[in-house]
């Protein structure tokens, strides 16, 4: 189990650096499947989706933080676009995580699948996502910043996937390159990851009797192994920051979303 998680943590590190996924699109379906296979019928198995989402959110603190440092050193993070959103994302993460805890694991799983499907369709059908864009990013308005930031935090914490599935399409529509859009997704995932992890741990502390190696719904051992794998993946792929052609980068992003959707449908 742990060698498997180490491998998929490595893949999560790659997607974090190159696509801003924060690891959630890899970690959630994999950990959900592993927990069902190894703990089916137990309290952990019954809470598999909640544990997967909460653990993924916690892993993101490490992965998104390290990827942010790598992108910052490479000069690819559009900080003027990122900073205004950070506080709103943190605020939105609290009700998002609380809502996930209030619903059954099946509801969270199908919400994950539904949102992923919408994002794929929007990226394919809306003109411009797979086309090379202008270098200048159009600025956000004040109310758009508040609404978008709060929604990103709530949805990302609810699904445990980081902000990439929302921030990358949004920034592409505002003229960002894929490099800038995916670079921005990492720091924007950090406030959600910190607030969401704290919420998952504190609100479920007494409601989730899952064993000594759990902080609420967070599986601490799985989290540690995934974090190590993520660090290895980030180290291995940081050299590719800014080197992938824009249109190929965009098409690869959509392809990976389709792979994750397929995994969740058959899990």
Question: 106-134 pLDDT, tens per residue?
Answer: 787 788 788 888 888 888 887 777 776 65
What are the structure tokens assigned to 2, written together?
């742990």
Whole-number pLDDT of residue 226 = 92
Q: Over the stretch 157-168, which tens digit does the pLDDT of each residue have?
A: 787 666 677 788
CB 158 within 8 A of CB 96: yes
Q: Give the Cα-Cα-Cα angle 84, 85, 87 (nearest 5 degrees).
A: 95
**Rounded Cα distance, 115 and 128, in Å:** 20
Domains in the chain: boundaries? 1-266
Q: What mean pLDDT, rounded, does the chain reach?
A: 83
pLDDT of residue 253: 87
* pLDDT category of residue 22 using cuts at 50, 70 and 90: low
pLDDT at 23 over 70: no
pTM (two decimals): 0.80
How many Cβ atoms are within 10 Å of 256's Cβ, its own excluded?
Answer: 17
- pLDDT recorded at residue 206: 62
Could you tell me the two tokens for 102? 């209030």
């Amino acid at each position: 189990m742990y060698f498997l998680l180490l491998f998929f943590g490595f893949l999560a590190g790659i997607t974090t650096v190159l696509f801003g996924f924060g690891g959630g699109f890899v970690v959630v379906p994999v950990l959900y499947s592993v927990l069902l296979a190894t703990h089916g019928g137990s309290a952990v198995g019954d809470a598999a989706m909640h544990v997967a989402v909460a653990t993924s959110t916690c892993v993101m603190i490490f992965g998104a933080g390290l990827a942010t440092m790598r992108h910052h050193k490479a000069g690819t993070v559009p900080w003027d676009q990122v900073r205004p959103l950070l506080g709103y994302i943190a605020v939105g993460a609290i009700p998002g995580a609380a809502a996930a805890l209030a619903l059954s694991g099946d509801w969270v799983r199908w919400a994950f699948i539904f949102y992923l499907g919408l994002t794929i369709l929007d990226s394919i059908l809306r003109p411009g996502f797979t086309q090379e864009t202008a270098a200048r990013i159009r600025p956000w308005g004040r109310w758009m910043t508040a609404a978008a930031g709060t929604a990103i935090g709530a949805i990302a914490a609810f699904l445990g996937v980081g902000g990439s599935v929302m921030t990358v399409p949004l920034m592409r529509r505002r003229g960002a390159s894929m490099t800038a859009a995916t670079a921005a997704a990492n720091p924007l995932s950090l406030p959600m990851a910190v607030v969401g992890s704290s919420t998952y741990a504190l609100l479920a502390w007494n409601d989730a009797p899952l064993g000594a190696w759990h902080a609420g719904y967070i599986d601490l051992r799985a989290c540690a192994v995934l974090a190590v794998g993520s660090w290895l993946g980030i180290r291995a792929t940081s050299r590719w920051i800014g080197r992938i052609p824009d249109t190929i980068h965009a098409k690869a992003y959509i392809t990976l979303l389709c792979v994750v959707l397929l995994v969740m449908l058959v899990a």
